[in-house]
Amino acid sequence: MHIEKLSLFNFKNYEDVTLNFSEKVNCLVGVNGSGKTNILDAIYYLSLTKSAFNNIDSQNIRFGESIFSIKGNFKLENKTYEIVCAFQEGSKKTFKANKKDYEKLSEHVGRFPVVLIAPNDVDVIREGSEARRKFFDTILCQLDSSYLETLSKYNQYLRQRNSALKKFAFIGRVDYDLINTYDDQLLKLGKDIFLKRAAFIRGFLMLFQQHYIQISQGKEEVNIIYRSEWLQDDFVAQFKASIKKDLALERTSMGIHRDDYRLIISGKPIKKFASQGQQKTYLVALKMAHFDTIAGLKDFKPILLLDDIFDKLDDERIRKLMEMITGHQFGQVFITDARRDRTEQLLATFNLPAQIITLPLAK
């Protein structure tokens, strides 16, 4: 699978531009602020129906405008699919495949998967459990559309329950029948999400550990431990009994929205005990496992987006990554770099043919 052409209209810093791509390696070079990352984000948008960096659609519109659109032509199994995303302030975002509207955006997610490696990936390690849940949920949503739908429903009921808790605290009266209705839905949906997360992490962990060993040459042992309150035998009873606490806090204090993935290196939390080099290796191994998981299930390779990767990895890690690209372990690859000379030197060193696009684009 690859994207042949991308057209942007009023998307971020682009007024109106169309780009054609190589089905193998594409290098976007230019000074910082020239729009390299925005092109990667547009491809990500067409895959996951949202930005990788800003989930507020209106903030992705070019300054001074009120609408943006992204159009991409994807080639998959000798068929071409035209995917169009459009958003106008005050209206609902629309997605079309070959001029046909989706009834639900969840129907699109996973059809044209991408894997993005970007500087803000470090949030998975440095931030709280929400960042780690988002990372793994993004993979699961690309693998299983029913997971995305279940997760969306859970979050909807969670918002409604939390809103009811705030209202009851304000008026001093509780509608326990309404609370029980929300509880039944959260428990049912939460169990489904828990089971899929638990099953997924077992296979993902093996791939992740293999990649970490390959990149680090087996210097440390790594692990990912999935933590969920659903692992407790009496979780349902505890959840039901937490209503007094929830009313006091005005929020739901238990459930899969509190799940976490503990990232471990040499038996200790990576956030506190790993060097920057170890953290970078850990993140790249996570992304490579993400890539392999999708490729294994879909029977085709997702698009790989490498944003500013050469500035974030040392020479040895860059060498290993370039060897993987040269060895055709990936399909279509996009690489951004602020230094054209460095990109050209790496391509020459590894005898890797690539299309180089220099930004900003000429008017």
Domains and CATH numbers, the chain: 1-113+300-362 (3.40.50.300), 125-297 (1.20.1050.90)
In the chain, which ranges are continuous DSSP H helix? 36-48, 123-126, 129-143, 145-171, 176-216, 235-241, 243-249, 270-273, 276-298, 315-326, 340-349
Average pLDDT value for residue range 326-342: 89
Confidence at 337, pLDDT banded by 50, 70, 90: very high
Confidence at 112, pLDDT banded by 50, 70, 90: very high
Q: Is the pTM of this model over 0.85?
A: yes
Give per-residue pLDDT as tens, 351-362: 989 999 999 875
**Annotated binding residue at 72?**
no
**Annotated binding residue at 31?**
yes
Between strands 303-306 and 333-337, the pairing is parallel
Confidence at 205, pLDDT banded by 50, 70, 90: very high
Residue 181 near residue 188, CB atoms below 8 Å: no
**Annotated binding residue at 99?**
no
Confidence at 216, pLDDT banded by 50, 70, 90: confident
Confidence at 314, pLDDT banded by 50, 70, 90: confident
Confidence at 245, pLDDT banded by 50, 70, 90: very high
Average pLDDT value for residue range 22-29: 94
Strand partners, 97: 83, 100
Above 60 in pLDDT, residue 363? no
**Annotated binding residue at 34?**
yes
Give per-residue pLDDT as tens, 115-153: 999 888 889 999 999 999 999 999 999 999 899 999 999
> Within 10 Å of residue 45's Cβ, how many Cβ atoms?
26
**Annotated binding residue at 30?**
yes
The reported pLDDT for the residue numbered 362 is 56
Above 90 in pLDDT, residue 328? no
The reported pLDDT for the residue numbered 329 is 81
Longest dimension (CA), the chain: 72
**Annotated binding residue at 35?**
yes
- Name the token pair of 223: 């692990």
The reported pLDDT for the residue numbered 312 is 67
